[in-house]
């Protein structure tokens, strides 16, 4: 028996204090996680023109070592790694091979948000949250 959870969408918004590594300027950041898109997290940064979507596993892996998602040359992506002292996580915004900016955020704050995301949708249960009827319908309309 399988459980369909697609009719129970929950959105989790998380605040991230962020500093630009180039000039130490402070920015407000927000992570948005939706249970109907369980593999991805969206990052919005105050005064930044683009929203960056990245797999949540990249953020999790980036707490302990370098992790990144690949993107097409014209799409933004995220490179994540701990700072040298481990107190911060560095979030590099990339476009293809070009590093556009690097922001730092407290590692404990990001870790706490990731725990909340995994409480909503535990690892290995993501597939049960996807509305496959909608996915198939969008593919057949192309």
Q: What is the pLDDT of residues 65-109, one digit of tens each?
A: 999 987 776 788 899 999 999 999 999 998 888 889 999 999 999
> In a 3-state reduction of DSSP, which class is residue 13?
strand
State how far the Cα of 110 lies from the Cα of 88, in Å rounded to an integer: 9
Helices (H) and strands (E) in the chain, counts: 3, 8
Mean pLDDT of the chain: 85
Q: What is the DSSP letter of 28?
A: E
pTM of the model: 0.81
119-123 mean pLDDT: 79
Nearest-CA neighbor of 135 among 6, 1, 2, 11? 6
């Amino acid at each position: 028996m399988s459980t369909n959870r697609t009719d129970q969408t929950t959105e989790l918004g998380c605040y991230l204090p962020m500093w630009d590594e180039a000039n130490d300027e402070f920015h407000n950041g927000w992570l948005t996680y939706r249970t109907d898109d369980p593999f991805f997290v969206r990052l919005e940064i105050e005064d930044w023109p683009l929203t960056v979507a990245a797999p949540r596993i990249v953020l999790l892996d980036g707490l302990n070592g370098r992790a990144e998602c690949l993107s097409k040359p014209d799409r933004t992506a995220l490179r994540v790694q701990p700072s040298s002292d481990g107190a911060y996580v560095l979030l590099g915004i990339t476009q293809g091979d070009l590093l556009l900016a690097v922001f730092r955020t407290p590692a404990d704050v990001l870790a706490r948000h990731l725990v909340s995301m995994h409480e909503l949708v535990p690892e290995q249960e993501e597939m049960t949250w996807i509305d496959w009827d909608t996915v198939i319908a969008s593919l057949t309309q192309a």
